[in-house]
């Protein structure tokens, strides 16, 4: 660990979301896959969203041991990339929209981090700064950025002193989000808790 509380390099995470060893391994070992999975996680089942990067890698002929490349995705013809994302089974219920967002995300990563996704959170002084950087990325709002801060802390060991405050309420011990999915029990517990919240007329933030 560095003096600032961040790993000196990106360590494999402990997310367990899809139940597919290959798909979960991809998001746990490939920072761009993690960002894309979080991007896709809206209006579809979370398993579907987190299988997306693995499916995308297969369609791009990227070996399981090789991370996705922001520049390669960014430079693809938009219609060609939209067709890749839309091919059955589509990576999202709105595949062409998400294809655009994925390429916009990769454009941003190339422009601001030279494609080094982990630079967003490596060796930063505070979770607040990480949160600000995430919010500037296409497809990421305040809540998604806070959840990813919680994911980085709980599942990847990226824990600056202010991470719980910045990630609030997703930094607490309640099973609110994907940040609390470390095994099948954790995933099922999150689902059950969310059902209870919905029955009470509350959201995952309440």
Please check whether residue 134 is in contact with residue 120, taking contact to mean a CB–CB distance below 8 angstroms. yes
Residue 124: per-residue pLDDT: 64
Low-confidence ranges of the chain (pLDDT < 70): 1-11, 124-125
Residue 132: per-residue pLDDT: 95
Token digits for 158? Answer: 């990226």
Residue 5: per-residue pLDDT: 36
Residue 11: per-residue pLDDT: 59
| Helix pair angle (95-113, 78-86), 10° resolution | 130
Residue 203: per-residue pLDDT: 85
Please choose, from the candidates 140, 131, 128, 68, the residue with its C-alpha nearest in 3D space to the C-alpha of residue 104: 140
Chain segment 169-202, per-residue pLDDT in tens: 999 999 999 999 999 999 899 989 989 888 888 8
Task: Give the CA diameter of the chain.
Answer: 47
Residue 181: per-residue pLDDT: 94
pTM, entire model: 0.91
């Amino acid at each position: 660990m560095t003096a600032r509380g961040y790993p000196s390099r990106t360590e494999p995470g402990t997310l367990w979301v899809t139940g597919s060893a290959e798909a979960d391994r991809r998001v746990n070992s490939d920072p761009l896959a993690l960002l894309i999975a979080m991007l896709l996680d809206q209006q579809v089942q979370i398993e579907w969203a987190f299988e997306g990067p693995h499916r995308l890698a297969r369609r791009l002929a990227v070996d399981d041991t090789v991370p996705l490349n922001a520049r390669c995705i960014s430079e693809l013809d938009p219609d060609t990339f939209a067709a890749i994302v839309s091919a059955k089974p589509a990576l999202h219920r709105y595949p062409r929209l998400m294809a655009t967002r994925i390429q916009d995300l990769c454009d941003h990563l190339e422009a601001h981090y030279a494609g080094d996704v982990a630079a967003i959170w490596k060796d930063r002084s505070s979770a607040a700064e990480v949160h600000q950087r995430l919010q500037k990325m296409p497809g990421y709002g305040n809540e998604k950025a806070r959840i990813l801060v919680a994911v980085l802390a709980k599942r990847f060991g990226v824990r600056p002193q202010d991470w719980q405050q910045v990630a609030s309420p997703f930094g607490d011990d309640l099973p609110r989000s994907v940040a609390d999915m470390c095994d099948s029990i954790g995933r099922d517990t999150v689902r059950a808790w969310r059902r209870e919240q919905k029955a009470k007329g509350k959201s995952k933030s309440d």
